[in-house]
Every structure is written in structure tokens, then in C-alpha cells.
Structure 1
Amino acid sequence: MLKFNSTYFRLFSLIFTIEVLIALYVHDNFVRPYLGDVLVVILIYCFIKSFLKLKVIPTAIFVLLFAFTVEFLQYLNVVEKLGLQNSKIARTVIGTSFCWEDILSYIAGIFVVILVELFFRKK
């Protein structure tokens, strides 16, 4: 089950770099809020697959449920309840506001993961 996969790790590293660049330099109404959320579930998926040899669908579902949980914690204002409202890192990683569009972005990201995995499995 535990097995390093350099391809997934390279993808994780690339997407992580893109996410950091988006967080630092993009302040628009599409890329940062929507594309960033699509990419974040792909990022988490690639990170998990970098170290664990797991099946695609269960891993994708786990990542989606994890993303939903984080979004639900935003709904509960967990950053403020934990006293982390002044932490830029906590506010960025956990987020501060629930949004249904984020849920749709996470679903879109997992859909991309599954499509790409199916495409490369057929080759």
C-alpha cells in the first residue's frame, strides 16, 4: 500500500506551485475562487497518490469528502472558533466563508481526476 510514485509527486509539486502563484498574484473573480478550488482537490489527490497505492475511485471520493468537510468547517466559522482569525495561513488553508460554488468546483476537480485517470489507464 505504501509506495512512492514520482509521477504523482511531480504533478503535486507543479499544482502546488501553481496554487501558490494564484494565491500570491491572482486577485480576480474566476481563477482564484473557482480554478483554484478545482485545482486544490487535484492537488490533494496527487499528494495522496504520491505515497499510497490506492484505487482511483475510493481515493477520489475520500478527497471529495475531505474537501466537503473543510467547506462545512468554513460554514461553522472554525477559523474564528479556534482563535486563528489573525493567521493568514489558517485563513488561506482552511478558508473563512462557505460557498456552494466551492462545492461545485470540488466536484469538477474530482471529475477531471477521474477522466484523466481513465484516459491514461486506457493507454
Structure 2
Amino acid sequence: MSNVIVAGADEHGLGEELEEAGATVTRIPDVVSASTLEDAGVHDADVLVLTDTAEATAIPIAKELNPDIRAVAYAEGSLPESMAAIADISVDPRLMAPDVVAEELLGEGEEL
């Protein structure tokens, strides 16, 4: 089972799809910081999903706290260039439905 942190409003319901697919999901609905990531269990998390590109600074923080975490942006718009270089993948919800992304993130389909 995967431990996933979903940070942001999650307007497209990726968190729910991940839960339905068997992941343990912890949510950070507010500003993402080192302390909120630690409270959410970043040290044991497999995936960090950002649903708001304004929270992109969470990516290097999460990677510093857990170098093995997979950082995924699932949001409309682009990540800042410096954050895009650190993120493992960025997916626009207008191009890929949340159920498909959940399956891919949890290893049930071809890798994204």
C-alpha cells in the first residue's frame, strides 16, 4: 500500500481516487511547509501530490525530508522552471483524468 500526501485543494478529486485504489492519503489543505509535511508523515510517504502550483516550493522541502519521495504536480498551469526540474512528473488534469493518474501512481498501469 502506498502512503500519499495530497497538498492543495484537490478540486479534481485525485485524493479520493487514490483512496479508492487503496492508498493511504493524508491531506494538507493549507499552506505547505516543512512542519505541515512532517505532520502529514512525509518521512514515510511514497508520493507527494501537489494540486496547486502556487505550493511548488513544497517539492524541494519534501525531497530534502525524504529523498525517495515521488513529487507529482496534478494541477492546471505550469510549475516554475526551478521546481519543474525537481518534480518527478507534472500532469495537467485537463489532459488526464484523476482515476487514470491514481492507477498510474500506484503501479496498476503503464508508468506515467
Fold equivalence (TM over 0.5): no
Structure having the higher strand fraction is: 2
Q: TM-score, normalised by structure 2?
A: 0.25
Q: TM-score, normalised by structure 1?
A: 0.23
Between the two structures, name the one with larger relative contact order (CA 8 Å, sep ≥ 6).
1
**Bigger Cα Rg:** 1
